[in-house]
A and B are shown apart, each in its own frame.
Chain A
């Protein structure tokens, strides 16, 4: 049996706002199996974003341990975390997803370029994935020339093109119409089913939740519900 993709053990995160200490996460214990398709839901301020930040190595916990890909990321240096994100984690943000000076194809190729994939191969992969997400013919457009939904699809294409072991996504369907959202979720689910990519998605979207194998609800920095789904 594969080791879990993510293990959080008694993870705390406290933000200091002046003299006030805000507990964004309080003793979160969570294990996400490899190949999991997990949705985090909960009201604003419940700690979804903070938990995604912690798992992605974008922020450090105030206490507790986080293990991703069998590595204790709470002890890693910035450069080691960057290396981990590059090779193991794909990100889809809610907004400001793309590098404005690169066109759609270059944005998709960006991670592969950092990974050292040969130019011809990454070009072909980028063109294929952009066609899959319905952006054929828009490869040379810069983010400013794309709609919000199109930008989001480029971001998703970038996140999945190099087939990372773990994809973290925050409201990936927020700017998409229902048909595109459906198609996108289907692609994610296919990737999850066929390649075993683990997904952790923060969302309010019922559609996204319907695709989840596991639904975790957060409230005030704590896990209040953890439901397995079909």
Chain B
């Protein structure tokens, strides 16, 4: 027998609105459930994305190459030959698979102002190459970004400037060790001040032109690290393998290997999101099953009538499922709309400075930007829809298995 689809949809739709209040309560529950899934996930994703961006932008890039042992002992002796001496690596870094790359020199140093002395990491950069790779170029809020590899100014963080009790344009002295273990020091003028969301970044790094740093440290053309960005921070295995092969004995690591804490956090966040989805869905499914069971129970006589008139059990099952599907689809539409309406006003971020200060070490900034990913939205919708239908199977099956006479008995008598 051909299934009278239009008729089933018509009956299911009209049945849905027979008990307005109950249907509206269920629709509200579905909408709020979906909203909870999307909204909370957007905030959690936003937090994770910020932590990842922070981890990647704070000099690590997607992949880094160091001399063997540098990560354990970042001393000036452990250097790599420049990229131009490795044609295979040069070719790979200049290919379309790498969006940005740069060489750096990193050494521990001491910075001294007229007022104070503090330990920092001195980083020699190529300002042009660094632009787009790390946060530096976009974070200078006072003074000027470095003009070139031999710029004689330095960039310092706002917080460091405050601790040193000095100002942009004033002189400071940087002191480190040269390759012969002699003290290397040099006076610089503060050319620019950078601001970041993380105080620790502002107090830890001082940037100068790479050639200026080489001259100060009396070192050759070696580099401490090569950092690069690929097109996608999640799919780096192939690129990292090729970089590793081209870099030879050097120590090549992805940002996740460089930051195992972040790798763990990513796994934990995915788990938390799944648990969150599950909790919401379980609560939702109880409501859905209860609503449909009530609807089926109330319509015992009617279902018996439908069966008496010749509607096959399969069509009764489909009718209840269609009712559930319509309710789910309307609820999902409302939930998506609600999510959009509530995320729109906070797309520029939520001020969480009250709690973020304590989590700065984890890369959280004071402004939480929600990150709505289409895959998360689709997953939330799919979970509610597919599992919602699955949860409706029981009431639908109950309806289809009713013995007509049990319902009809009430009709005859």
Interface residues of A (CB under 8 A from B): 49, 52-53, 56, 58-59, 78-79, 82-87, 89, 91, 93-97, 99-102, 106, 110-111, 113-116, 158, 170
Question: Taking the complex as formed, is B341 at the interface, i.e. its CB lies under 8 A from any CB of chain A?
Answer: no
Give the residues in chain B near A78, CB-CB below 8 Å: 307, 313, 403
Tell me if B410 and A96 are in contact (CB < 8 A).
yes
Contact of B18 among A56, A96, A101, A115 (CB under 8 A): A101
Q: In the complex, A187 Cα to B300 Cα: how many Å?
A: 31
In the complex, A78→B309 CA distance in Å? 13
- Given A93-B305, A116-B2, the answer on whether A79 and B412 have CB atoms closer than 8 Å is no
Shortest beta-carbon distance, A42 to chain B, in Å? 14
A100 touches B302 (CB 8 A): yes
> Could you give 28 example pairs across A and B, Cβ below 8 Å?
A52-B412, A53-B408, A53-B412, A58-B408, A59-B405, A79-B312, A79-B314, A82-B307, A82-B310, A82-B311, A83-B312, A84-B310, A85-B310, A86-B309, A86-B310, A86-B311, A93-B305, A95-B411, A96-B305, A101-B10, A101-B11, A101-B15, A102-B11, A113-B4, A113-B7, A114-B7, A114-B315, A170-B412
Does B306 belong to the interface (CB within 8 Å)?
Answer: yes
Q: How near does chain B come to A145, taking the closest CB pair, in angstroms?
A: 14
Q: Once bound together, how far apart are the Cα atoms of A135 and B306, in whole Å?
A: 23
Contacts of B309 in A (CB 8 A): 85-86, 91, 110-111, 114, 158
B18 pairs with A94, CB closer than 8 A: no
| A-side contacts of B14, CB under 8 Å | 101-102
Binding site for A on B (CB under 8 A): 1-2, 4, 7, 10-11, 14-15, 18, 301-302, 305-315, 403-405, 408-413
Q: How many A-B residue pairs have CB under 8 A?
A: 95
Nearest first, the 3 closest Cβ-Cβ pairs linking A and B are A86-B310, A101-B14, A59-B405
Contact A83 B1 (CB under 8 A): yes
Complex contacts, A106 vs chain B, CB 8 Å:
10
Q: How far is the CB of A71 from chain B (nearest CB, A)?
A: 14
Shortest distance between the CB of B325 and any CB in chain A (Å): 17
B408 surroundings in chain A (CB, below 8 A): 53, 58, 93
A53-B412, A116-B4 are known; give 11 further A-B pairs, CB within 8 A. A78-B307, A84-B310, A86-B309, A86-B310, A86-B311, A93-B412, A99-B302, A100-B302, A102-B11, A113-B4, A170-B412
Q: Which residues of A contact B404 (CB under 8 A)?
A: 58-59
Closest Cβ of chain B to A68, distance in Å, is 13
